[in-house]
């Protein structure tokens, strides 16, 4: 009797389609080696080792074969085999990856039996067999033939090891109905239009250089302005809560990370630097160990606490080239990092203060209500974490209590904690419905122990302190990859790198355009003039393409009335206002960090 996994119907649909995909591929390309094919959030994938490459042009052929299999109303049969019999089966079928998987199950889990799931054809024959734990539909009749689509192929190393075989991964989108699939495909098309790599290039925000290296973005003046304005706002919110700025170097001795525990966990992800004298250093992948040394540089009384340090600085991680993606996965990333060194009695107030900053920031920049995830440790894998079970239990209970008191919409996720403490992770949904984890608050119960951080309490004794880590945007690069796509590059006036473009109708109006430019710059606005050398229509389209919030068209009437014809790029509406009215409304919108412009 095969065990039946406790999975939902969507999981069963997607898992079954992975088997259908594998059956179709092995029929069309006999001799193909099969590996794994799990369900994922939007469908499933399967990894193959082909003897000859396949391409996107093969997708229709595979889909046609998959539909043919589904129309046959095949079913599944589960067989439980002893390990020796299963290994013999896969060796006879020359599927060495399956043999390796079984050997790993024996080594890691001590299994004595495994399960095979066979696709049963219309004549009762085995049409495909896979090593599988189960979770499938009863019959392929339950699978609508119009609910899936092959999306892409990609390279994937076997077991994620770049020294092993490079496989071909086929991704499949799958949903319960055609309408849901169509909605997903429409969302993907919209995502392509908003892709931050495309929009960033169009708006001249950032670039990459082969001479500098993959995953190391270079920010243009416009992109740097956007980063600065966001970071300055975060600092404004933090400053009001009593934070102070600190500055640390970009490299450190190996010993700092050995003490913190990062070296043991992440040595392979660090950029290593060896000095001429043979000393081993690393480019910093995070800032918290450095900040502990600022706290520890002098003895602290309980009266000195909390100590709140904030810094926006670049960190470095040696990501694999194949994992790099625009700004969302880079090797050099900038964190708006902060650490609070405090007593246990301060923890709740400090976390609530950070929580308030997070809510204020994300509401201001245009995200909806944030969902909260309490990221907890996995008690079944204590080797992944620092500290004792008692320390973790106390820290997690503290975060849970704070979330309850705040009446937060929160869920709990076991195994998602940092290796040194549990987290409050904030989840947002962008304008096309995708969810992203953004800000985070981490309660660190281990770093103070490892660095022997304490304060002198009221009785003159040493009292162990705690650390609270806080990132509002987190990685500025990753945040901006999300935000550019969320806004489709059309930023609110206060954030727009260029806030207004002045468009003189003809050469005779350029002197007036220059007067307007000088006045607006005097008011602190970021403006450009699009001169008359191109047609009026082309210049308006250029301003719209650059997502400049306001296009100020000036001709004879505007010159006579000391006014401007304001075209709101977001609403496409055009109104004529005096220069005084325009500047006053802009000043008010910028000061209030309004999401919507009040003109047009």
**Which residue, among 183, 177, 156, has the nearest Cα to 167 in the 3D structure?**
156
Buried b (16+ CB within 10 A) or exposed e, 5-38: eeeeeebbbbbbbbbbbbbbbbeeeeebbbbbbe
* Residues paired with 261 in a beta bridge: none
Position 267 scores a pLDDT of 83
In CATH terms, the fold of domain 500-591 is Rossmann fold (3.40.50)
| Ranges in the chain, pLDDT < 70 | 1, 3-4
> What is each CA distance from 572 to 474, 543, 550, 569, in whole angstroms?
34, 12, 10, 5
Residue owning tokens 């086929």: 170
Position 36 scores a pLDDT of 95
Distance CA(252)–CA(182), nearest Å, equals 51
Contact, 199 vs 489, CB < 8 A? Answer: yes
Contact, 473 vs 438, CB < 8 A? Answer: yes
Q: What amino acid positions are annotated as catalytic residues?
A: 288, 317, 335, 337, 339, 423, 469
**Around Cβ 413, how many Cβ atoms within 10 Å?**
14
Position 413 scores a pLDDT of 87
Position 330 scores a pLDDT of 96
Tokens of 321: 């080239």
Distance CA(62)–CA(66), nearest Å, equals 6
- Which regions of the chain carry the CATH code 3.30.930.10? 225-250+284-487
The three-class DSSP label of residue 250 is coil
Looking at domain 225-250+284-487, its CATH class is alpha beta
Tokens of 21: 């995909």
CATH, domain range 9-191: 3.30.980.10
Position 394 scores a pLDDT of 84
pLDDT tens for each residue of 96-142: 999 999 999 999 889 999 999 999 998 889 999 999 998 999 999 99
Could you tell me the end-to-end alpha-carbon distance of the chain, in angstroms, rounded to an integer? Answer: 69
Cα atoms in the 13 Å half-sphere on the side-chain side of 400: 12
- Which regions of the chain carry the CATH code 3.30.980.10? 9-191
Position 281 scores a pLDDT of 93
Which value, to the nearest 10 degrees, does the dihedral of the CA atoms of residues 308, 314, 316, 319 take?
Answer: 110
> What is each CA distance from 256 to 289, 293, 340, 442, in whole angstroms?
7, 9, 19, 20
pLDDT tens for each residue of 307-343: 999 999 999 999 988 789 999 999 999 999 999 999 9
> What is each CA distance from 380 to 377, 416, 442, in whole angstroms?
9, 13, 21
**Which residue, among 446, 390, 396, 388, has the nearest Cα to 416 in the 3D structure?**
396
- Which regions of the chain carry the CATH code 3.40.50.800? 500-591
Cα atoms in the 13 Å half-sphere on the side-chain side of 487: 26
């Amino acid at each position: 009797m095969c065990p039946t996994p406790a999975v939902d119907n969507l999981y069963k649909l997607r898992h079954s389609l992975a088997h259908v995909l594998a059956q179709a591929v092995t029929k069309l390309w006999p001799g193909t080696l099969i590996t794994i094919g799990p369900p994922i959030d939007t469908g499933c994938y399967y990894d193959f080792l082909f003897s000859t490459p396949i391409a996107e042009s093969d997708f229709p052929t595979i889909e046609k074969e998959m539909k043919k299999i589904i129309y046959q109303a095949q079913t599944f049969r589960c067989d439980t085999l002893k390990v020796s019999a299963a290994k013999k089966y896969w060796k006879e079928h020359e599927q060495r990856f399956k043999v390796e998987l079984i050997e790993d199950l024996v080594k890691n889990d001590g299994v004595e039996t495994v399960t095979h799931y066979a696709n049963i054809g219309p004549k009762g024959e085995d049409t495909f067999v896979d090593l599988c734990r189960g979770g499938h539909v009863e019959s392929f009749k339950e699978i609508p033939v119009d609910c899936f689509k092959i999306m892409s192929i990609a390279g994937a190393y076997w077991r994620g090891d770049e020294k092993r075989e490079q496989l071909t991964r086929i991704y499949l989108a799958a949903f319960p109905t055609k309408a849901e699939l169509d909605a997903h495909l429409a969302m993907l098309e919209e995502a392509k239009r908003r892709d931050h790599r495309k929009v960033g290039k169009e708006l001249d925000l950032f670039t990459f250089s082969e001479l500098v290296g993959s995953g190391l973005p270079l920010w243009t003046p416009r992109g740097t302005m956007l980063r600065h304005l966001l970071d300055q706002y975060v600092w404004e919110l933090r400053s009001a809560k009593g934070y102070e700025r600190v500055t640390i170097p970009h490299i450190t001795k190996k010993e700092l990370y050995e003490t913190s525990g990062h070296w043991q966990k992440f040595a392979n992800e660090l950029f290593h630097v060896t000095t001429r004298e043979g000393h081993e250093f690393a480019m910093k992948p995070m800032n918290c160990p450095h900040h502990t040394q600022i706290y520890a540089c002098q003895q602290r009384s309980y009266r000195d606490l909390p100590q709140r340090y904030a810094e926006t600085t670049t960190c470095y991680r040696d990501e694999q080239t194949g994992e790099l993606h625009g700004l969302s996965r880079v090797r050099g990333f900038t964190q708006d990092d902060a650490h609070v060194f405090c007593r246990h009695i301060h923890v709740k107030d400090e976390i609530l203060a950070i929580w308030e900053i997070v809510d204020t920031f994300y509401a201001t920049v245009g995200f909806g209500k944030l969902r909260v995830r309490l990221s907890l440790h996995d008690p079944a894998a204590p080797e992944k974490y620092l500290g004792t079970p008692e320390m973790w239990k106390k820290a997690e209970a503290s975060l849970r209590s704070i979330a309850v008191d705040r009446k937060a919409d929160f869920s709990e996720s076991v195994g998602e904690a940092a290796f040194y403490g549990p987290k409050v992770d904030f989840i947002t949904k962008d304008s096309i419905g995708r969810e992203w984890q953004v800000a985070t608050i981490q309660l660190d119960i281990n770093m103070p122990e490892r660095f022997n951080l304490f304060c002198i309490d009221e009785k003159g004794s040493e009292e162990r302190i705690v650390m609270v880590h806080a990132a509002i945007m987190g990685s500025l690069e990753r945040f901006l990859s999300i935000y550019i796509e969320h806004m489709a590059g059309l930023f609110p006036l206060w954030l727009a790198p260029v806030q207004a473009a002045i468009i003189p109708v003809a050469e005779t109006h350029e002197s007036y355009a220059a007067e307007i430019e000088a006045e607006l710059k005097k008011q602190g606005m970021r403006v450009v003039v699009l001169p008359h050398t191109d047609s009026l229509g082309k210049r308006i389209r250029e301003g719209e393409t650059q997502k400049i919030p306001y296009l100020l068209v000036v001709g004879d009437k505007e010159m006579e009335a000391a006014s401007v014809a304001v075209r709101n790029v977001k609403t496409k509406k055009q109104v004529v206002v005096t220069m005084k009215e325009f500047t006053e409304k802009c000043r008010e919108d910028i000061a209030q960090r309004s999401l919507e412009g009040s003109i047009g």
